[in-house]
Amino acid sequence: MKEMIVETLSPEETFELGKKIGQEAMPGTVYTLTGDLGAGKTVFTQGVAAGLGITEPVNSPTFTIVQIYEGGRCPFYHLDVYRIGDISEMDEIGYEDYFYGDGVCLIEWADLIEEILPEHLVRIQIAKDLEKGFDYRKISLQGEENKLK
Ligand code: ADP
Ligand code: MG
């Protein structure tokens, strides 16, 4: 297991980190994103999409749980499970197609569905530290060596 910590001082820097991850992401990889509301999960996700070559605008799929983007070098499955009421909603959307599919999958608020997360993950946590300023974010990335360069 490898762990990387990156500190960013602006949304642009968080976007750039996401973009770098997206450029190197291998199809089949699942990324989980955790952090409070406003931490920067969606900003990071937009960077990942850009890194995959997606030009369509990416926003949080709040009312649909999953949004699929086909315009990049591989499919991109963006899930935001913030509003999930019951884990059975994940069965309804056919989550296994996304977790075990041939695209890159990224899940915002993944801690809410911990019981069904796949074994192999790259876990990304974004945290504020107000003592270091409003725009400071500490981003921790944890995953297997080959999935985290
Ligand atoms: P989340 O998806 O985690 O709820 P968003 O990505 O939607 O959060 O929003 C993050 C907000 O924080 C944006 O308004 C963004 O401009 C702001 N922000 C300030 N500094 C940073 C930073 N270093 N990284 C990411 N976002 C930042
Ligand atoms: Mg979000």
Domain boundaries, the chain: 2-104
pLDDT at 149: 74
Provide CATH code, domain 2-104.
Answer: 3.40.50.300
pLDDT at 71: 95
- Determine the distance separating the centroid of ligand 2 and the alpha carbon of 42, expressed in angstroms: 4
Could you list the pLDDT tens digit for every one of the 149 residues in the chain? 899 999 999 999 999 999 999 999 999 999 999 999 999 999 999 999 999 999 999 987 667 899 999 999 999 999 999 999 899 999 999 999 999 999 999 999 999 999 999 999 999 999 999 999 999 999 999 999 888 87
pLDDT at 145: 84
pLDDT at 123: 98
pTM of the model: 0.96
Residue 85: Cβ-neighbour burial (10 angstroms; 0-12, 13-18, 19+)? exposed
CA-closest candidate to residue 67, choices 47, 51, 53, 81: 81
116 φ, ψ to 5°? -115, 5
pLDDT at 60: 78
Work out which ligand 1 atom sits closest to the CA atom of 80.
2
Q: Are strands 76-80 and 66-69 parallel, antiparallel or unpaired?
A: antiparallel
* DSSP H helical ranges for the chain: 11-24, 41-51, 88-92, 96-99
Contact call for residues 53 and 79 (beta carbons, < 8 A): no
Q: Which residues line ligand 1 (CB under 6 A)?
A: 8-11, 13-14, 35, 37-43, 108, 135, 137
